[in-house]
Amino acid sequence: MNIVLIYLPHPYLRQPGSHAPLGLMYVASSLESKGENVIIKNYTSFHTEEAIKDLPEADVYGITVTSLELLQSNEFSKLIKKKYPQAIVGIGGPGTYTDEYIDFDVIDFSCQGDGEITIIDILDDVQNNCLKKEYKGKTVEDLNSLAFPARSLLSSDPGGNIFAYNEKYAAGGTTMIVSSRGCPFKCSFCSSPYFTSLNKGVRYRDPKNIIDEMKYVIENCDTRQFKFCDEMFTANRRRVFEICEILGDLDVSWKASVRVKPFDYEMAKVMKDSGCKEISFGIESFDNDVLKMLNKKTTDEDNASALEITDKVGIKTRVLFMIRTPGQTKDTVKKNIEWLERVPYHIIACSSFIPLPGSDTWNNPDKYNIEILNKNLDDYNFYFYGNSGEDDNMKDIIKIKNRGLEEFNRESIKFREYLDSTGKIHKG
């Protein structure tokens, strides 16, 4: 059976090639281990028309989606069916939380949760003419049992990219790796708590298994630069120290995204000594009222402390920020600017809050004193900046119940103007 796994076009992003489709590479390696003929088409830098023209014929197509790509996947599937009417088309990924937006007239099945085991069952059902519309992915309880991601399927494809955007197609780029799945925290804006629960909690790879993959990448992909794509790399303190102890012998450079808690000087120092060059902190806001609404379980002081510790040990810091959030008041922007003027950091990336399907804010908006004005996922976009600069037509997705939209939007523009003035804003 011929299978094509698809990473959809993202022409609306300023840096569409910034992430390789790691999830698809894991599914592909699972299929390869069963002797299936599988290829990956990374169309992230393509326009839809170009992607469909390039798309080869296959028996089964699998599309990975986030919530923001559900409606796009419907349209793309229609085009697949038009070109190859007999094809089977399915979707997987975090966007499968709800079937509310899935067009089952053109999408034959969806898979919610881990896909590496269940994709084999799905192909059996295809061959036996008993395909179901919805599958719950079988949890991969032992992540060490998975074959390494099939990176070779991207490196051999002109549309592929196993490296990060800034060194795309070049030896020596940054490759993505994951050492765990799931997150033990329950931020209200995130759908991860649902999928973590679905997959029976946080699961960790053995440090040796991680290092074996990194050695494979060093030998076969000509790079010593890595990005850990865990939802929460520092969730288990003991394990961080174990990984860093082995990493120190590899002579690699790496970066990761973490929370500001748990985090301390000792952890930062061991990360630095093992090759960590950059940490992205999920700061979100310096307004404690906003942090409480987002269920971050952190404070403005926690945010400042993490940045100061990281600066002290000499690791570059990227601040991940959010504006237009539940809990935002007329004082929020002022507080954010005051803190950002005081704390050390190198880069800031700011996104607009959106109520992701699967998140608690989506499921229980009244709990957060918001009204969801718009549930058209095509209008949903994290990006505070469009693909050609500022997006002056910010969509009104939510409304804080006791506040006017005009004031809310003015505050957003004021904060964006401040970010532009810092010279540290990352608009990708």
pLDDT in tens, 303-329: 999 999 999 999 999 999 999 999 999
- Encode 151-175: b = buried (16+ Cβ within 10 Å), e = exposed: bbbbbeeebbbbbbbeebeeeebbb
Q: C-alpha angle 391/395/399, rounded to 5°?
A: 135
Show Cβ contacts of residue 413 under 8 Å, excluding neighbours closer than 6 positions.
Answer: none
Burial of 246-266, coded b for 16+ CB within 10 Å and e otherwise, reads ebeebebebbbbbbbbebeee
Of 174-178, 263-267, 334-338, the least confident: 174-178
In angstroms, the CA 44 to CA 63 distance is 12
DSSP, res 174 = E
Average of per-residue pLDDT across 227-234: 94
Q: What is the pLDDT of residue 198?
A: 87
Mean pLDDT of 58-83: 96
β-sheet bridge partners, residue 407? none
pLDDT of residue 169: 32
Percent of the chain surpassing pLDDT 70? 91
Residue ranges of domains in the chain, CATH in brackets: 2-136 (3.40.50.2300), 171-422 (3.20.20.70)
10 pLDDT above the threshold of 60: yes
Give the model confidence (pLDDT) of 110-133 as tens digits: 999 999 999 999 999 999 999 999
Residue 311 CA to residue 188 CA, distance in Å, equals 29
Q: What is the pLDDT of residue 365?
A: 97
Mean residue pLDDT of the chain comes to 90
- Residue range 141-151, pLDDT digits in tens: 999 999 999 99
